[in-house]
Chains A and B, each alone.
Chain A
Amino acid sequence: MSPIPHLKRRDVLLGAAAGLAVLALPARAMARPEMQEAVKAFTKGAMAQEGRVRLDLSPIVENGNAVPLTVDVESPMESADHVRRIALFNEKNPQADIAIFHLSPASGRARISTRIRLATSQQVIAVAEMSDGTYWSQTRDVVVTLAACIEVL
Chain B
Amino acid sequence: MPRTLINVPKTAKAGEIVEVRAMIAHPMETGQRMGVNGAMIPRDIVNRFVCTYGSEVVFAADLWPAVSANPFLSFSLRAKEAGVITFSWTEDSGAVHVATADITVT
User: A interface vs B, CB < 8 Å?
Assistant: 65-67, 90, 93-95, 97-109, 111-118, 149, 153
When distances are taken between beta carbons in the complex, the residues of chain A under 8 Å from B17 are 108-109
Q: Provide the residues of chain A in CB contact with B76, threshold 8 Å.
A: 107-109, 111
Find A98's partner among B30, B35, B67 (CB 8 Å cutoff). Answer: B67
Q: Using Cβ atoms and an 8 Å threshold, which residues of chain B touch A109?
A: 17, 76
Residues of A within 8 A of B75 (CB): 101, 103, 107, 111-113
Which B7-58 residues sit within 8 Å CB-CB of chain A? 17-18, 30, 32-33, 35-36, 53, 56-58
Interface centre among B64, B72, B78, B80 (most CB of A within 10 A): B64
- B interface vs A, CB < 8 Å? 17-18, 30, 32-33, 35-36, 53, 56-69, 71-78, 80
Residues of B contacting A66 in the complex (Cβ-Cβ under 8 angstroms): 68-69
Q: Give Cα A67–Cα B18 distance, bound, in whole angstroms.
A: 24
User: Does B59 lie within 8 Å of A149, measured CB to CB?
Assistant: no
Enumerate chain A residues within 8 angstroms of B61, measured Cβ to Cβ.
99-102
Measured between beta carbons, the chain B residues less than 8 angstroms from A118 are 66
